[in-house]
Amino acid sequence: MICANQTFSQDPDFVQFYSNPLYLNPAFAGTNNCPRISANNRIQWSGLPNVFNTTSFSFDQHINALHGGLGFIIINDKLSSSMQNIKASGIYSYETILSKKIHLRTGLEAALWQNKLNYDQLNFVDNIDPLRGFVNPTSNFGYNDSKAGLDFSAGFILYTNQIFFGASTHHLTEPIQSNLSNDSKLDRKYTLKLGYHYTILNNKAQLNKNPLIISPNIIWKMQGWNKQLNIGMYAEKGAYTAGFWYRDNKNYSLIFGAKIGLVKFGYSYGVNLSRLYVASAGSHEISMQINLTCDNKNKLYKTLSCPSF
């Protein structure tokens, strides 16, 4: 008795935006100058029996000979037990020095994706036996159980020592990723970001004594008819970071991070305080980032000052 002419979906979301920078914007590749390894895992709506589980792994580094950075990122997005989306991307970013204090970095991403549909996890009407339940074999066949293709994205970041602004567009070619039809395109995703990195010092003597860093941020996204506004604030003191994000429709996230040597660990808990919370029970996300050391003799290229998580 229920009929839907159209269905919509969107990309998986991470709330620790800056611990997964290549996923946010390909122009972030190489902004740390030295090699950077990032790993993230997000469990969406942990109160449901079959949750959305998304994992990413990325690596990037600035290379002076290329006047920019190289990176790659792998995303494994598992939707319940029936669908799995995998994407592997290669990224190149180019650094332009506009002035001594202002730098521009542009990035281009090329990706190979594969969507898998596990038929043995689906239930159909003809599976049902009136007395024994879902026991009969189904006659519903013909859908593609695996689909693959190419995807492209691009972005830029304009930044100084304190302020950064960026924009990106993912899925430039709007690939058809649906396993059930050949006329359902993946909408382009547009992202705008603006942040400020302010160091609080009482006097010059505190310059080398772990000053307090405050960073307000705004991230706006649009994909198809889905629009999302994220407003956040970070506070960093020494090796420890705390953050707070508010998103449309009563979504709140708390972030806690710590740095131990070259490694940064982050944890965030997100909750929807609307009636959805009764079923979702919140979302969990963990991150690990390794910022390796290197001998960077070229001082022309800056390290982007932005939050860590």
Tally of CB atoms within 10 A around 164: 22
Residue 72 lies in a domain: yes
Residue 308 lies in a domain: no
Q: Residue 246 belongs to what H/E stretch? A: strand 240-247
d(CA 97, CA 214): 26
Question: Count of domains in the chain?
Answer: 1
DSSP letters, 90-149, are: EEEEEEEE-SSS-EEEEEEEEEEEEEEE-GGG---GGGEETTTEE-SPP----S-SEEEE
Residue among 269, 190, 197 at smallest CA distance from 233: 197
Residue 302 lies in a domain: no
| Local structure of residue 277 (DSSP, 8 states) | H
Residue 300 lies in a domain: no
Q: Tell me the residue range of the domain where 233 lies.
A: 21-291
Which amino acid would we find at residue 197? Answer: H
- Across-strand partners of 252? 246, 271
Residue 211 lies in a domain: yes
| Phi, psi torsion values for 99, nearest 5 degrees | -160, -175
Residue 277 lies in a domain: yes
pTM (2 d.p.): 0.86
Per-residue pLDDT of the chain (309 residues; tens, 9 = 90+): 555 555 556 688 899 999 999 999 999 999 988 899 999 999 887 777 767 889 999 999 999 889 999 999 999 998 877 788 999 999 999 999 998 889 999 999 999 999 887 776 677 777 787 777 777 777 666 555 788 899 999 999 999 988 999 999 999 999 887 766 666 788 999 999 999 988 887 665 455 577 889 999 999 999 988 899 999 999 999 899 999 999 887 889 999 999 999 999 999 998 888 776 666 778 899 999 999 988 766 666 677 777 878
> Do 36 and 22 meet the contact criterion of CB atoms below 8 Å apart?
no
The CATH number given to whatever domain includes residue 223 is 2.40.160.40
Residue among 194, 112, 193, 185 at smallest CA distance from 153: 112
Residue 272 lies in a domain: yes
Residue 309 lies in a domain: no
